């Protein structure tokens, strides 16, 4: 049933609540729980049929987390933590989805959500200082607070290549994968894209398909997951160290051992750190290399290390050179964590088309046509990424004071205070919004930090018997400047990545995540200083 059909099939909700929460991923689920605990009435909306967000939508073969599962877990419920046993170092999508479902069951969170319902608009009324939220199912809900837990990577780029609609075979988008799965057996498959989604799915697709052609625009850095089942001892050790881990992350420390910031490793030490990249600790190993994304010498050494590994793995030297990334620093685009990605190119049924040499001209009814000719396919897999960080917000007609549209205010790129609120939009919060570390962190930690901060801020507003909290323009301007300054100290802006919106034609190019240190301490400090930079009316 489409959302429009669904709208006709159920009675639209009307009424008043304290808070609306949009999204039932890890952010929306915890947000609802915190607001309920504070005694607020909540209405949640979720476009999907059930909870899970990212892990509900991204069901492509091989989908897994790239942060070790024990760390990619909520910390707010001891009962959930101790009652859940991850089976592998990097859990699969079905297991992570079961975890989200488990939490929803345990806290009966579905009760407050309307599923298969997209929020279409949120309009602030200055007189009442309340939001009116409308959905594609005809709901009209009035709320004091509106929390956008809409996700940073929740709007997949569709099959938008020229001629895509003419393709007569099957086509799939990794971020909207069918629940019943896809049968690749005996099929000729075209995979477009070489980001994390393609890198995770290619090895499994290639095992089933008759033949796979990978269409690569930019080669990518990928580190081996060396995934293993989790041993009881590892789990026990994690739980034993958990209080200290929690203390560290709550104190704003990264939660993993980090090198001293001023340590400049000598060649021998650096060589040892680089070996870590192939140890199976992927992004955690990257974090161990001091100034990896600040120091060109160190970054280039890391790039060369990975390039050397690709040359070792891929048997055909010409093919290896095509797979080697050389035009952006390691980690300036999110490094991928894979199982047998480069090895898969040694298979007889896998070939690579380098789109830098021969760009795609069009999708045809029977395959993919490049300047070099046509590659016939039965199935096309689009692994071409997301309208990241602002995509979900920009698809909702959000209007703040004076009827100003968020899309107009953000026409030159997103501007927020702390990634949490936007000047001119009182009582509207963004969980892991642009201007916060979000996608450059273990997202579950960032989500918890934001949800806790938002719940406390709402509690503060209520305790003062106030009706609105809003970021001041001055505080927002200063924060945006600081976010940009911090980004400019790094190598991040050197990659044409989705962090700067470079993957979506026409999107303003602004570096969106916050890369400075001590973010959690900052937002706690702002709250402790009576919400410095916010006006409470």
Among 206, 287, 384, 515, the residue binding ligand N01 under the rule CB under 6 A is 384
In the complex, what is the shortest distance from the CB of residue 432 to ligand N01, in angstroms, rounded to a whole number? 12
Helices (H) and strands (E) in the chain, counts: 17, 20
Cβ nearer to ligand FAD, comparing 36 with 307: 36
In the complex, what is the shortest distance from the CB of residue 178 to ligand N01, in angstroms, rounded to a whole number? 17
SS3 130: strand
**Tokens 């698809």, residue?**
395
In the complex, what is the shortest distance from the CB of residue 63 to ligand N01, in angstroms, rounded to a whole number? 6
Cβ nearer to ligand N01, comparing 188 with 334: 334
From CA 358, how far away is CA 482, in angstroms rounded? Answer: 41
Cβ nearer to ligand N01, comparing 135 with 390: 390
Residues 28-67 that bind ligand N01 (CB under 6 A): 65-66
In the complex, what is the shortest distance from the CB of residue 52 to ligand FAD, in angstroms, rounded to a whole number? 7
Among 73, 93, 171, 200, the residue binding ligand N01 under the rule CB under 6 A is 200
From CA 501, how far away is CA 413, in angstroms rounded? Answer: 9
Cβ nearer to ligand FAD, comparing 337 with 377: 337
Cβ nearer to ligand N01, comparing 138 with 254: 254
Cβ nearer to ligand N01, comparing 143 with 332: 332
Q: Is the dihedral of CA 191, 194, 199, 203 positive or negative?
A: positive
Kind of pairing, strands 211-216 and 350-354? Answer: parallel
Q: Rounded to the nearest 5 degrees, what angle is found at the Cα of 136, between the Cα atoms of 135 and 139? A: 45
Cβ nearer to ligand N01, comparing 107 with 215: 215
From CA 497, how far away is CA 345, in angstroms rounded? Answer: 24
Cβ nearer to ligand FAD, comparing 498 with 531: 498
Q: Does 218 bind ligand N01 (CB under 6 A)?
A: yes
Q: Does 503 bind ligand N01 (CB under 6 A)?
A: yes
From CA 182, how far away is CA 383, in angstroms rounded? Answer: 15
Q: Does 329 bind ligand N01 (CB under 6 A)?
A: no
- How many CA atoms, within 13 angstroms, populate the side-chain half-sphere of residue 72? 25
Q: Specify which residues 125 forms β-bridges with.
A: 130
- Choose one: 34-42, 182-190, 378-386, 404-412; the region binding ligand N01 (CB under 6 A): 378-386
Cβ nearer to ligand N01, comparing 336 with 380: 336
Of these partners, ligand FAD, ligand N01, none, which one is at the site of residue 392 (CB under 5 to 8 Å by kind)? ligand FAD
Residues near ligand FAD, by CB under 6 A? 22-28, 45-48, 53-54, 56, 58, 63, 65-67, 72, 118-119, 149-154, 197, 392, 396, 431-432, 442-443, 447
From CA 247, how far away is CA 384, in angstroms rounded? Answer: 38
Q: For ligand N01, which residue has the nearest CB? A: 195
Convert 164-228 into a string of H (helix), E (strand) and C (coil).
HHHCCCEEEEHHHCCCCCCCCCCCEEEEECCCHHHHHHHHHHHHHCCEEEEEECCCCCEEECCCC
Cβ nearer to ligand N01, comparing 514 with 531: 514
Among 137, 159, 192, 423, the residue binding ligand N01 under the rule CB under 6 A is 192
Of these partners, ligand FAD, ligand N01, none, which one is at the site of residue 194 (CB under 5 to 8 Å by kind)? ligand N01
Among 69, 92, 194, 211, the residue binding ligand N01 under the rule CB under 6 A is 194
Pair 442, 71: CB distance under 8 Å: yes
How many Å from the N-terminal Cα to the C-terminal Cα in the chain? 44
CA–CA distances in Å: residue 268 to residues 232, 277, 290, 442: 35, 15, 14, 29
In the complex, what is the shortest distance from the CB of residue 30 to ligand N01, in angstroms, rounded to a whole number? 20
Length of the chain measured in residues: 537
Q: Does 437 bind ligand N01 (CB under 6 A)?
A: no
Q: Does 498 bind ligand N01 (CB under 6 A)?
A: yes
Pair 22, 396: CB distance under 8 Å: yes
Of these partners, ligand N01, ligand FAD, none, which one is at the site of residue 443 (CB under 5 to 8 Å by kind)? ligand FAD
In the complex, what is the shortest distance from the CB of residue 12 to ligand FAD, in angstroms, rounded to a whole number? 15
Contacts of 92 (CB under 8 A, 6+ apart): 63, 64
Of these partners, ligand FAD, ligand N01, none, which one is at the site of residue 146 (CB under 5 to 8 Å by kind)? none
Q: Is the dihedral of CA 303, 308, 314, 320 positive or negative?
A: positive
DSSP state of 132: E
Residues 128-167 that bind ligand N01 (CB under 6 A): 153, 161
**Tokens 């070792």, residue?**
312
Q: Rounded to the nearest 5 degrees, what angle is found at the Cα of 22, between the Cα atoms of 508 and 90? A: 80
Of these partners, ligand FAD, ligand N01, none, which one is at the site of residue 391 (CB under 5 to 8 Å by kind)? none
Per CB under 6 A, residues contacting ligand N01 are 65-66, 153, 161, 174, 192-198, 200, 215, 217-218, 334, 336-337, 355, 360, 383-386, 439, 498, 503
């Amino acid at each position: 049933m489409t959302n429009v059909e669904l709208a006709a099939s159920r009675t639209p909700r009307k009424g008043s609540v304290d808070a609306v929460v949009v999204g039932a991923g890890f952010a929306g689920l915890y947000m609802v729980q915190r607001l309920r605990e504070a005694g607020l009435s909540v209405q949640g909306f979720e476009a999907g049929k059930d909870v899970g967000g990212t892990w509900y939508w991204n069901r492509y073969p091989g989908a897994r987390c790239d942060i070790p599962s024990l760390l990619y877990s909520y910390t707010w419920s001891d009962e959930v933590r101790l009652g859940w046993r991850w089976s592998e170092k990097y859990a699969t999508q079905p297991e992570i989805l079961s975890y989200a479902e488990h939490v929803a069951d345990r806290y009966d969170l579905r009760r407050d959500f309307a599923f298969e319902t997209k929020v279409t608009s949120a309009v602030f009324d200055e007189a009442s200082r309340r939001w009116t939220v409308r959905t594609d199912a005809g709901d009209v809900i009035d709320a004091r607070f509106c929390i956008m837990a809409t996700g940073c990577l929740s709007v997949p780029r569709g099959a938008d290549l020229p001629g895509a609609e003419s393709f007569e075979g099957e086509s799939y988008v990794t971020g909207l994968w069918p629940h019943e799965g896809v049968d690749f057996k005996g099929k000729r498959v075209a995979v477009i894209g070489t980001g994390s989604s393609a890198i995770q799915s290619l090895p499994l697709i290639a095992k089933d398909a008759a033949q796979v052609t990978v269409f690569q625009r930019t080669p990518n850095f990928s580190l081996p997951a060396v995934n293993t089942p989790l041993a009881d001892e590892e789990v026990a050790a994690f739980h034993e160290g958990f209080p200290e881990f929690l203390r560290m992350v709550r104190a704003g420390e990264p939660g993993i051992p980090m090198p001293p910031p001023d340590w400049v490793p000598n060649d021998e030490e650096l060589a040892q750190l680089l070996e870590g990249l192939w140890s199976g600790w992927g992004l955690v190993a990257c974090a161990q290399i001091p100034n990896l994304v600040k120091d060109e010498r160190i970054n280039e050494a890391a790039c060369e290390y990975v390039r050397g590994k690709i040359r070792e793995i891929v048997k055909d030297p010409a093919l290896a050179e095509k797979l080697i990334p050389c035009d952006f620093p390691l980690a300036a685009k999110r490094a991928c964590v894979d199982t047998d990605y480069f090895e898969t190119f040694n298979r007889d049924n896998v070939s690579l088309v380098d789109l830098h040499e021969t760009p795609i001209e069009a999708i045809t009814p029977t395959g993919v046509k490049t300047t070099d000719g046509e590659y016939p396919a039965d199935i096309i897999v689009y692994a071409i990424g997301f309208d990241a960080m602002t995509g979900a917000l920009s698809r909702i007609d959000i209007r703040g004071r004076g009827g100003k549209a968020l899309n107009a205010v953000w026409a030159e790129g997103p501007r927020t205070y702390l990634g949490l609120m936007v000047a001119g939009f009182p009582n509207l919060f963004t969980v892991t919004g642009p201007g916060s570390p979000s996608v450059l962190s273990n997202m579950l930690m960032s989500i918890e930090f934001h949800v806790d901060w938002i719940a406390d801020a709402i509690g503060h507003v209520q305790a003062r018997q106030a009706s609105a909290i809003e970021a001041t323009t001055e505080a927002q301007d200063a924060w945006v400047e600081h976010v940009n300054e911090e980004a400019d100290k790094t190598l991040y802006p050197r990659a044409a990545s989705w962090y700067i919106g470079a993957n979506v034609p026409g999107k303003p190019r602004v570096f969106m995540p916050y890369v400075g240190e001590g973010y959690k301490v900052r937002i706690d400090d702002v709250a402790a200083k009576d919400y410095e930079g916010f006006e409470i009316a």
